[in-house]
Structure 1
Amino acid sequence: MRRHDTEPGKLVAGLVLLSAGVIYALDATGAWSVPAWTLVPLVAAGLPLAALTAVMTRAARRRASRAPRAGDPRAPENAPPG
């Protein structure tokens, strides 16, 4: 099986939505009394946080792919003098 890249943005989105679901389930069973409007800010703040995480991850990966590697003839330490 091919290995997949880790995607932290999807992890953050999943954790936010999972926590909203757990809060809703606890409220529905009566184990925890939470006003219904509190889930809206949780999801509304969590999804942009997940998007920001995904954008930062992509930027870091693009920067890392552009960086010269050791032994690369284009690396500054391997450039001809002059």
Structure 2
Amino acid sequence: MRTHEFQPGRLIAGLVLMAAGALYLLGAAGQADPPWFFVLLMTLGGFSFAAVVGLVTYAVRRDRRDRITESGGSGGSGGR
């Protein structure tokens, strides 16, 4: 089975959307009454954080890849 590269930015974005969906479900069920702007700010903040994490992850992986190619090594990790 082929594995894929772990992407923490996408994980954070997914968790934020799941939390927003859970808040809306709780609101629809009458269990919670979150203000609309709270959910909006939470989602925008979570997406911003996910973007920063994604950029940092990309920069770290690019730096590692450049170091491996400069040293002449084959890497051998298969892109993981």
TM-score, normalization: structure 2? Answer: 0.79
Structure 2 spans left out of the alignment, 5+ residues: 74-80
Mapped partners of 2:2, 2:38: distance in 1: 40
Alpha carbons of structure 1 residues 47 and 73: separation in structure 2 relative to 1, 3 Å: closer
Q: Highest CA radius of gyration, 1 or 2? A: 1
Structure 1 spans left out of the alignment, 5+ residues: 76-82
Amino acid at match of 1:50: A
Runs (4 or more) in structure 1 with deviation over 4 Å come to 72-75
- Number of aligned residue pairs: 73
RCO higher in structure (CA 8 A, sep ≥6) = 2
Over the matched positions of the two proteins, sequence identity in percent amounts to: 34
Residue of structure 1 equivalent to 2:12: 12
The 5-angstrom pairing of residues 53-72 of structure 1 reads 53-68=53-68
Give CA-to-partner distance per residue, 1:35-74, whole Å, 9 cap, x none. 12211101111111111111100001011112248xx965
